[in-house]
Amino acid sequence: MTSVIKSYHECDNEAETHNILDAVKALLPEIRAAQAESDRLGRPPEHIVQMLRKVGAYKLTVPKEYGGLGVDMKTWMDVVTEIGRGDAGVAWGVTLNASCSWVFSSFFPKHIVDEVFSDPDAVLAGVFTGRKLTSRPVKGGIFIDEGTWFFNSGVYEATWDLLGVTMFDEAGEPIGPGIALVPMSDVHILNDWNTTGIRGSGSSNVTMKNVFIPNERIIPLFPLMDGSYPLTNDSAIASVPFAPAMVSILSYPILGAGLHMLEHFLETLPRRDIKLTTYTKAAEAPVTHLILGEASGKIEAGRLLIENGVKEMTDYATRGEIMPQLLRAKVCRDTALAERLIWEGVDQLATVSGGSFSWMGNLGNRLWQDVKVGTLHPMISLSTNYEMYGGLLVGMETPLMPV
């Protein structure tokens, strides 16, 4: 199958969006066939990584001038959602790799971007907040005595890491959080990603000890989030607002898993009986029809909310305008609501899947676990995003988190 798939280097510019999406769709059977291996490893198997690398999945947001695809947000959504229909964990790693390439190429100094992407196989991962971080200012930069960063999704595929650090002023006083670029040779992967879902993301914790980071490889986090930090390039996607984009991109793997759950339910329904009723087949029972109608509606409503947020962000970025804070918060709210709806739809399908659903090897059970674990990320917490948007509606000047 893969022998007929074009490398992204072979794609015509005008058709590249269709080529990457078609290429990923062609990989679905192999991604699905590798799910057990992804679960065992806690990251994508190497042959899946190489297939995704060949079609350009790790180059989605790398600018075209560096040999990347430089896609728009809708293509980003469509490609990751399609990978998510194969394996939500693998898709989670890919979308985080894409987000880090986007942040890096949009905001870091151009000569640093030139340096990193001089390697055609460069891939970035990142965690923008640190834990147990001990650092200090030194001449020309900062020195990390020791630090731990949790859930470094896509790190096994990365050659560089973007890690949250403390920034200091000239007097040596902390002035806020920053994002530092470090080579993977300075990072130790703890290989401790052991969860019930999203296993293929490879979201291991990482540590660093005794590492110097020059100032030119550190940028401040909060100005990125409020839109005030200058851009390195003038592409439309570089102007997409940081916070709602980071919330949005986490929903694509979940949407893919939700669509796969609906597909799987319909495929297996004709073979399923129903106990303790007058019906012989589950497909004949009105309760199945009711649940299926509601669950499919919730999954589709989730998709529409996500797509609308992507369109809003893209429209403002294309016009070169700063998206108003309330609208940024609305996109975050709607995306979090979309994930809740997708989870509810998947959970409803699980309730009418019969006792066999409880088997560890049941695909529906696996998808159910993937969606639930994916919705636990704090950036897509529905209560947090409700509170943030509601606070702005009543005139609070400082929302719960920067948007």
Residue 181's DSSP bridge partners are: 162
pTM given for the model: 0.93
Between CA 43 and CA 49 the distance in angstroms is: 9
Enclosing H/E stretch for 376: none
Query: Helices 88-107 and 242-249: crossing angle, nearest 10°?
Result: 160
Q: Where are the alpha helices (DSSP H) in 203-358?
A: 221-226, 242-249, 251-268, 286-319, 325-351
Largest CA distance in the chain: 79
pLDDT of residue 386: 94
pLDDT of residue 360: 82
Q: Which domains does the chain have, with CATH numbers?
A: 2-117 (1.10.540.10), 124-221 (2.40.110.10), 240-393 (1.20.140.10)
Please give the sequence-ordered ranges of beta strands (E in DSSP) within 34-173, or none if there are none. Answer: 124-127, 131-138, 141-152, 160-168
pLDDT of residue 11: 45
DSSP state of 280: S
**For residue 211, how far is the Cα from the chain centroid?**
28
| Four-CA torsion 117, 121, 126, 131, nearest 10 degrees | -110
Between CA 302 and CA 295 the distance in angstroms is: 11
Cβ 394 vs Cβ 388: under 8 Å = no
Cβ 378 vs Cβ 385: under 8 Å = no
- Transcribe 166-210 into DSSP letters: EEE-TTS-EEEEEEEEEEGGG-EE------SS-GGG--EEEEEEE
Between CA 315 and CA 241 the distance in angstroms is: 11
Cβ 116 vs Cβ 160: under 8 Å = yes
Between CA 203 and CA 250 the distance in angstroms is: 13
Buried b (16+ CB within 10 A) or exposed e, 247-283: bbbbbbbbbbbbbbbbebbeebbeeeebeeeeeeebb
Between CA 232 and CA 397 the distance in angstroms is: 29
**What is the SS3 assignment for 262?**
helix
Between CA 197 and CA 157 the distance in angstroms is: 19
Quick count: other Cβ atoms within 10 Å of Cβ 174? 11
pLDDT of residue 10: 44
Between CA 50 and CA 38 the distance in angstroms is: 14
Tell the residue number behind the tokens 């460069």, with chain if given: 122
**What is the SS3 assignment for 351?**
helix
Tell the residue number behind the tokens 């057990």, with chain if given: 36
Per-residue pLDDT of the chain (403 residues; tens, 9 = 90+): 333 334 444 444 444 556 899 999 999 999 999 999 999 999 999 999 999 999 999 999 999 999 999 999 999 999 999 999 999 999 999 999 999 999 999 999 999 999 999 999 999 999 998 888 999 999 999 999 999 999 999 999 999 999 999 999 989 999 999 999 999 999 999 999 999 999 999 999 999 999 999 999 999 999 988 888 999 988 889 999 999 999 999 999 999 999 999 999 999 988 887 876 777 888 888 889 999 999 999 999 999 999 999 999 999 999 988 899 999 999 999 999 999 999 999 999 999 887 778 888 889 999 999 999 999 999 999 999 999 999 999 998 766 666 7
Between CA 249 and CA 244 the distance in angstroms is: 9
Enclosing H/E stretch for 41: helix 35-41
pLDDT of residue 12: 46
